Amino acid sequence: MATQIAGQYDTILILDFGSQYTHLIARRIREFGVYSELLACTTKIADLSFKPKGVILSGGPYSVYEAGSPHVDPAVWDLKVPVLGICYGLQEICHTRGGKVENCEKKEFGKAIITVQGESQLFQGLAKEISVWMSHGDQVTKVPEGFTTIASTHTAPFAAVEKAQDRIYGIQFHPEVTHSDLGKELLENFVVKICHAKSSWTMVVGAVSGGVDSTIAAKLMSMAIGDRFHAILVDNGVMRMNECAQSKVLLQEHLGINLTLADASELFLGRLKGVTNPEQKRKIIGNTFIEVFEAEAAKIEKEQEESGKGKIEFLLQGTLYPDVIESISFKGPSATIKTHHNVGGLLEDMKLKVIEPLRELFKDEVRELGSILKIDDELVWRHPFPGPGIAIRVLGEVTPSQVEIARKADYIYIEEIKKAGLYRKISQAYAALLPVKSVGVMGDNRTYEQVIALRAVETTDFMTADWFEMPYALLKKISSRIINEVDGVNRVVYDISSKPPATIEWE
C-alpha cells in the first residue's frame, strides 16, 4: 500500500540507518503535506516502484568507518535528486565520497549552538545562530572535494556541509527533534524549496489502546463493534493509587465500554519476587499480561459459545511508535533501548492475534484524536504510565511493601504538581524508589532509610525530553510531605537528566 501511495504523490524517501529519531523525520515531513516513504538503509534503489523527489539519510548508532557498518546503495546518486544526510547520514556522505570521519575527543550530546556560514538554500530565512540537538561521538574532520562548510559549532567545524551544484547536503545535528530550534523550517526548506515536493498529501488516522492510549483505543473499538468489544482491565498489583477503581468508573460508566476487571495482583507480584533485572521484569509482566488476557478471553468466549456468539480471536493494544523503536529494530538497524511489555515482551506462542492501530503514532497525535472524540481533557492530558507500572519505578526487587512506598510518594508528588497548576506544563512526572539507603535523622534519632527520586520532563513526542525546571518552593513542599507521610523514606532527590542520554523512565 505504501508504495502505491508513493506513486500517487510527490514522495521523500527516508533511508533508515537505525536512529532512534528516524520516524520523527517522516512525521515532520507529513506536517508539510508531503508524503514520505521510510525504508531500511539497505534498500536497493532498483527495487523502488517510484522515483522520489528527494532522499534523506537518517542518523544511526554506528561508526561509518568501522567494518560491518551499513552503507547506502551507491545507485542513490544516480537518481539525481537532492539528498540530505542527518548525523550518520552526513558522515556516510563524506566517508563514501573521499572525506574523513573520526571519533571526536569532545563529544556532543544535547543542545549546541551552530553558526551558519554563507547563503545556503538549506538555511534560507533562518537565523545565523541556531540552538540544535546533537547526539554523536564521531564527526567529519575533512570534507570531500567540492563540498563547502555552511555551519559549525565550537567543537564541530563541519556541522553542516553542501555541494550545491549536486544538491547534496549534510548536517551533524537532528532537525527532526523538537529540541532543535528551527529544525522544522530547515526540513521544509529541503523538502519544499530544494526538492520542490508539492504539499498535496493529507492523512486520516484512527487509533486505540492503554492509559490515555488504551482508553482512546477502547472507545474507538466500542464505537466500531459495540458490545462485541470486551475491554479487560488487569490489576497487576503495580498500578497507581486508586487506578483500577477510577478506570472502571471512567470506562464503564462514562464511556459505556463493556469492561471486565481481572484481579491478578498476587500472580504478578509472586512472579516478580526476587527479580531485579529491569528487562526480566518487563518480560515477566508482558508474558503474564498475555496469560491473564487469554484466560479472561477464554471465560468470555465460553459465555459467548453458550449464547451462540463467535470466538475471541484478537487482542487490542495501545502500542505507540516510541514503544516500537525503543524495543525492536524497525525498518532499519536501530539499537534496542528497552523492551516494552506490549512490543518485545509478548509470548511467542500467544493464541490471540494482536491489533495495534496506534503503532505508528506519537503521544501528541493520540491526544489530538482524543480531543476529536470529545474524551474528557483530564484523561486526554493524563501523563503516560508504563505498561509494567510501578514495577519499573521500584529499582531492585519488587515487593508489596516497596510498591506501596513508591505508590504513596508518587501520589503526593502528582497531587502537589496539580495543586500548583503545573500538571499540563509537564509531559510526564513520577516518583521512583531507589535501591539504596541513606543515613538521616528524625526526632533526634538516627535513621537508615530509602531514597525517592522525582522525575519530571518536558517533551512533545517522548523521543527526546528536557527535565522540567520545578520551582524550588514546590520541590521543598513535595520533599517535606513525602518524608513525613511515607514510612521508610528519609531522602528525596530530583533528576535533572535529559533524554538522551538518559531515558524518561529509570528502568
Marked catalytic residue, from 23, 95, 136, 174: 174
Q: Which residue reads 512472579 in cell numbers?
A: 271
Q: Which residues contact 327 (CB under 8 A, 6 or more apart)?
A: 336, 337, 338, 339, 340, 343, 344
DSSP element (H, E) containing 477: helix 472-485
CB 404 within 8 A of CB 417: no
> Which residue in 449, 431, 342 sits closest to 394, CA to CA?
431
Distance (Å, whole) CA 56 – CA 36: 10
CB 138 within 8 A of CB 63: yes
The reply, when asked if residue 214 is annotated as ligand binding, is: yes
Distance (Å, whole) CA 391 – CA 278: 9
Marked catalytic residue, from 23, 37, 41, 87: 87
Q: What is the DSSP letter of 143?
A: P
The reply, when asked if residue 349 is annotated as ligand binding, is: no
The reply, when asked if residue 215 is annotated as ligand binding, is: yes
The reply, when asked if residue 200 is annotated as ligand binding, is: no
Distance (Å, whole) CA 494 – CA 452: 9
| Chain-centre distance for alpha carbon 460 | 10
384 prior amide bond cis, ω within 30:
no
Respond yes or no: is residue 360 known to be catalytic. no
DSSP element (H, E) containing 452: strand 445-458
Using CA atoms in the order 332, 338, 344, 345, what is the torsion angle rounded to 10 degrees? 180
Distance (Å, whole) CA 212 – CA 217: 9
Distance (Å, whole) CA 188 – CA 129: 18
The reply, when asked if residue 63 is annotated as ligand binding, is: no
Marked catalytic residue, from 176, 188, 326, 365: 176
Respond yes or no: is residue 195 known to be catalytic. no
Q: What is the DSSP letter of 383?
A: P
SS3 489: strand
> Which residue in 409, 268, 301, 286 sits closest to 348, CA to CA?
286
Respond yes or no: is residue 87 known to be catalytic. yes
Q: What single letter denotes the amino acid at residue 328?
A: I
The reply, when asked if residue 380 is annotated as ligand binding, is: no
The reply, when asked if residue 234 is annotated as ligand binding, is: no
> Which residue in 4, 159, 172, 15 sits closest to 23, CA to CA?
15
Q: Which residues contact 183 (CB under 8 A, 6 or more apart)?
A: 28, 132, 133, 173, 174, 175, 176, 177
Q: Which residues are catalytic?
A: 87, 174, 176
| Binding-site residues from annotation for ATP | 209-215
| Binding-site residues from annotation | 209-215
